[in-house]
Copies of this chain bind each other. A is one copy, B any other.
Amino acid sequence: MKDQEITQVIKAWETQNQAITDIFNKYEDSYYSNEVAPGRNRAIYLFGHLIAMSDLLLPMFGVGEQLYPELENTFISSPDRAVEALPSVAALKEQWATVNQALSDHFAEMDRSNWLSRHTRVSEADFEKDPLRNKLTVLIGRTSHLNYHRGQLAFITPRV
């Protein structure tokens, strides 16, 4: 059993995912090669970054390996333009949907004690010192992270 609070956090995460999906369905694929602002990241880079970050939740929550480990180097370890060949927007959209579905499926299975337990990036000793460093905190933080970059992606819309 989950309590209602956890359901609400998961729902907020899914709402943000949908908002990102909507942004990348708004224009033709080529449009996402634009920088979100002069000298800043390209929209396609931010999309890959969000997919790679969500994909990392699978090992962090101890429910599986990354589905697309190759994205980590391109979109997390490297800044935009450091890696020349990017996947297509169409390929990224498919990976985005697959990662989110895999996570949603796992989230539906996780009970309260699992949500409030340690994730794999924090040691047992550190978790004992601060038990709020649990999986729920990670999901709350990732929901905000999605919205952080959504605020930047909002700038691709032409100013009228």
Task: Show the binding face of A for B, using Cβ within 8 Å.
Answer: 3-9, 11-12, 16, 36-40, 116, 132, 134, 136-137, 140-141, 143-152, 154-155, 159
Contacts and interface: CB of A to CB of B under 8 A. Distances in A.
Contacts of A6: 5
Stoichiometry (number of copies):
2
B5 A132 contact: no
Contact of A149 (B7, B11, B151): B151
A6 to B, nearest CB: 6
Nearest to A148: B151
Contacts of A8: 132, 134, 136-137, 140
A120 to B, nearest CB: 19
B116 A4 contact: yes
Nearest to A147: B144
Contacts of A38: 37-38
Contact of A12 (B40, B134, B141): B141
Contact of A147 (B136, B151, B159): B151
Given A37-B38, A132-B7, A152-B155, A12 B137 contact: yes
A16 B5 CA distance: 20
B16 A144 contact: yes
25 contacts: A4-B116, A4-B132, A5-B5, A8-B134, A8-B136, A8-B137, A9-B9, A9-B140, A11-B137, A12-B141, A16-B144, A36-B37, A38-B38, A39-B159, A140-B140, A144-B144, A144-B146, A145-B147, A147-B148, A148-B150, A148-B154, A150-B151, A152-B152, A152-B154, A152-B155
